[in-house]
Amino acid sequence: MTNLTTIIMAAGKGTRMKSTRPKVLQPLAGKPLLQHVLTTAKKLGSQKNIIIYGFEGRQVKDAFANESIDWVEQAEQLGTGHAVQMALPVLPTDGKSLILSGDVPLIGVDTLEKLSNTDSRFAMLTINIANPFGLGRIVRKDGKVIAIVEEKDATDTQKQISEINSGVYCVDNAILHNYLKNLNNNNAQGEYYLTDIVKMAVDDGIEIATVSPTYQFEIEGVNDRIQLANLERTWQAHQAENLMKQGVHIIDPSRFDLRGTLTVGRDVEIDINVIIEGDCTFGDNVKIGAGCVIKNSHIASGTVVQPYSLFDNAVVGEQNQIGTFSRLRPNAVTAKDVHIGNFVELKNTQMADGAKANHLAYLGDSTVGERTNIGAGTITANYDGVNKFKTTIGNDVSVGSNVVLVAPVTLGDKVTVGAGSTITKDVAEDKLVVARGRQTVIDGWVRPVKEKK
């Protein structure tokens, strides 16, 4: 909707976290709790995002320094009503505001769209749950909301109500400007409660609309490490379920972590303890072995990634064989039918169709031609302590084991490099090059032995 403001309460310390970091900076699915809420607000098209900060506010502001945010300080934490009061000086007088909490990270875009698009000037998110103990109950008369009653104030009859208040609202800004200034703290806690504006609206004859979330976890907050861990597993199970509905074969959803987004083709298979971070794409028939960590990478169809491989900003072509224990660092790019084997590392290296590096190699700042084979133990020495240099290897090259290619250096097509060589100069195509000391046997040499005491 147009003229939508989002107010996010993020001032709490989170004492039960036992942390030097504010609660809203604790991570869930690889991102701070507050980042989840802010990302959702931006997806809604919120024109103005107000964040109310408090404990360790500098940490919070620094973490979101690149975002367009109106920061408002709540120096003293005197309740939810007091928090939103702090936003009044920067709150527009027209339009509506969504009021969210920075420690309730998984509220869905669809849910908030329904909430913000009601015809009412005052809407709130409620849900029926099996065990509402400790939560504010929604009291209705003739189907209309007339009050929110907290657990400690509820009668026995009211305690049987299963509909609870989530603490998420969408309210006309004019109402907020009018009601928030009239809040008082005449209660046992000495705090200003946001829920009091519900009673004010009812007294003024404003009908309150209610919307329910699709999933209960959307309104679950985080107060300690146990709740954080439980919500993490709930969210991961939800993401795994969505992927399985798309046809992904996840071997064990309880041992799967998606900390970003994953776009998949058909018949993708993901083994246990795989972690996927950032934005990733897997093509048809991709298989990911156990224990892999894949970040911001794209893997084309038919590729098999063996266990315990690490990808970071890599682009992998079709029908590749990768791993085990391989590492593809930023700007590692492989074409079709490439083999990257055990304990092989690529950094800023491009490998053409059919190229292979199957064992114990490091290729940095390199290009490797078609059908070229890199022997075990081979490295490109790309760094002189100050600058990085490039190694260029042509097509159909055979590089023996334990070779050092000292960049900058170029090997032409069909070059053969003898095992154990250190290559410092360019080699023309079709040549055999050997650069190593001649084997010598030293007659009369005796290995030292320890003297017996």
- Evaluate whether 422 touches 436 at the Cβ level (below 8 Å): yes
Q: How far apart are CA 107 and CA 101, in angstroms?
A: 10
Tokens at 42, concatenated: 């931006």
Q: Kindly give, in sequence order, each residue whose CB lies less than 8 Å from that of residue 24, ignoring residues fewer than 6 positions away.
A: 10, 12, 14, 32, 33, 34, 60, 102, 103
Q: How far apart are CA 235 and CA 232, in angstroms?
A: 5
> Which of 106, 81, 115 minimizes the C-alpha distance to 4?
115
359 flagged as catalytic: yes
For residues 378, 379, 380 and 386, what is the CA-based torsion angle, rounded to 10 degrees? Answer: -160
Looking from the CA of 441 toward its CB, the CA atoms found within 13 Å total 2
Q: How far apart are CA 135 and CA 131, in angstroms?
A: 9
Query: Which of 82, 238, 339, 359 is flagged as catalytic?
Result: 359
**Catalytic positions, written as ranges:** 359
